[in-house]
């Protein structure tokens, strides 16, 4: 009993740098069942229509992480994405290589930028040499300790998050979602002895360039939720070290700013984050905006019930203790 068959127009990105002047899209029309994965269709195209189509894949079961690509502009595993819903939504299927990594040929990218960022976080346990792992006890962690990084080991390093990330696209200093999620995993691993050092270094290593746009979390095929782990890292970094960078100063400054009147004091926040020098740097822009929006330099009203808000701060905002 087969599902209703579907005539699927598939536009595939084709490009061989060095030989082709520019990328082109080749259209293949296939008759498939709606639940057919995109990867199966691409392999059929290669087997029956065009043996020169180049793609990377291996397990076909969302385990190896090899077949990440852009499917109708979303970073996805091709083996895990059925064709039917894509055609239904878009009327066609556009398959392109991942973003933020140079194309080697067709759907295959050079993953070097992704792995370079991963190396930067030193993704291995740093044990204290004075306290080696006890012999015969491979896992000296409690279930509660493991639960703190329960999601991260699910990562299959497919780079879908790296491909989806606008901060990666705009700034080579940003390590990317996967590297930071993995860093989080080592920071909260009780066996790792370099927590403090890792947190201090990542503050200047691009942590605060995360836009918390959550595109990585939506792209991740394994529900690792990188953006939430990056948030956790930010709070841990502030607890460990306070506001040493514009990013952490901005987060702390914002929190203090709201405590005073309950509403944001926009101009004061610029000073809190950037200091006096920064305020001077923003002066041109500020004046430009003030011409149209004269109230931006005035203090907002204080909310009614400000004492309630300040009690919440007293109850729940304890000063950093210097330890994550």
Partner 1 sequence: MKIAYYPGCVAQESGRELDMATRWVAKALGIELVEFPTFSCCGSGFVDEANLTLNVAINARNLGIAERAGLDVLTICSTCQGMLSLANHRLEDPAMRARVDPALAKIGMPYKGTVKVKHLLEVLTRDIGLGAVKARVRRPLTGLKVGAFYGCHLLRPSQESSMESPEEPRSFEDLLDAIGAEPVMYRGRVMCCGFPILFVKGETANRIAARQIADAKDHGAHAMATPCPLCHISLDGYQNKAEAAVGREFDMPIFHLPQLVALALGATPEEIGLPRHLVPAGPALAHIRPDPTAAPRA
By CB under 8 A, name the binding residues for partner 1: 73-74, 89, 166-167, 169-171, 208-215, 217-218, 225, 227-228, 231, 234-235, 238, 245-247, 250-252, 254-255, 258, 262-264, 266, 269-270, 273-274, 278, 285, 288-289, 292-293, 295-296, 300-301, 303-305, 308-309, 311-313, 315-317
CA trace torsion 304, 308, 312, 315 (10° rounding) = 150
Q: Which is nearer to partner 1, 120 or 126 (CB)?
A: 120
Rounded to 10 degrees, what is the CA torsion of 72, 77, 83, 89? -40
122 vs 145, beta carbon nearer partner 1:
145
Length of the chain (residues) = 324
Helix/strand/coil percentages in the chain, nearest 5: 45, 10, 40
* CA nearest to 41, candidates 86, 2, 1, 74: 86
CA distances from 217 to 40, 140, 205, 208, 210 (A): 25, 30, 21, 17, 13
Pick between residue 130 and residue 292 the one whose CB is nearest to partner 1: 292
Written as six digits, the tokens of 77 are: 């595993």
Smaller CB separation from partner 1, 11 or 274:
274
CA dihedral defined by 58, 62, 64, 68, rounded to 10 degrees?
80
According to DSSP, residue 20 is labeled B
Of 105 and 229, CB closest to partner 1: 229
Smallest separation, CB 285 to partner 1 (Å): 7
Closest distance of CB 89 from partner 1, Å: 6
- CB of residue 57 to partner 1, shortest distance in Å: 23
Closest CA relative to residue 39, chosen from 14, 61, 7: 61
Q: Which is nearer to partner 1, 127 or 313 (CB)?
A: 313
Least separation, in Å, of the C-beta of 239 and partner 1? 9
* Local structure of 238: helix, strand or coil: helix
Residue 167 Cβ vs partner 1, minimum distance, rounded to whole Å: 7
Q: Least Å distance between CB 137 and partner 1?
A: 28
């Amino acid at each position: 009993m087969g599902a209703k068959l579907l005539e699927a127009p598939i536009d595939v990105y084709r490009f061989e740098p060095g030989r082709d002047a520019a990328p082109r899209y080749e259209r293949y029309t296939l008759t498939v069942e709606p639940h057919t994965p995109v990867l199966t269709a691409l392999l059929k195209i290669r087997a029956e229509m065009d043996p020169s189509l180049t793609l990377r894949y291996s397990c076909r079961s969302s385990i190896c992480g090899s077949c990440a690509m852009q499917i109708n502009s979303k970073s996805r595993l091709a083996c895990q994405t059925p064709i039917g819903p894509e055609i239904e939504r878009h009327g066609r299927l556009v398959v392109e290589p991942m973003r933020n990594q140079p194309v080697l040929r067709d759907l295959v990218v050079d993953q070097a930028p992704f792995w370079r960022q991963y190396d930067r976080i030193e993704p291995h346990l740093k044990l204290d040499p004075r306290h080696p792992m006890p012999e015969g006890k491979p896992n000296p962690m409690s279930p509660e300790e493991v639960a703190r990084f329960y999601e991260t080991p699910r990562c299959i390093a497919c780079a879908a998050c790296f491909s989806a990330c606008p901060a990666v696209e705009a700034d080579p200093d940003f390590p990317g979602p996967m590297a930071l999620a993995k860093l989080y995993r080592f920071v909260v691993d009780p066996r790792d002895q370099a927590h403090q050092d890792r947190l201090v270094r990542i503050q200047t290593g691009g942590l605060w360039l995360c836009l918390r746009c959550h595109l990585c979390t939506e792209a991740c095929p394994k529900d690792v939720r990188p953006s939430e782990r990056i948030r956790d890292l930010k709070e841990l970094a502030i607890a460990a070290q306070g506001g040493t960078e514009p990013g952490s100063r901005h987060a702390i400054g914002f929190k203090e700013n709201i405590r005073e009147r309950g509403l944001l004091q926009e101009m004061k926040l610029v000073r809190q984050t950037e200091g006096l020098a920064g305020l001077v740097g923003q002066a041109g822009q500020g004046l430009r905006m003030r011409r149209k929006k004269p109230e931006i330099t005035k203090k907002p009203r204080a909310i009614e019930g400000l004492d309630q808000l300040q009690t919440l701060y007293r109850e729940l905002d304890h000063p950093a203790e210097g330890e994550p």
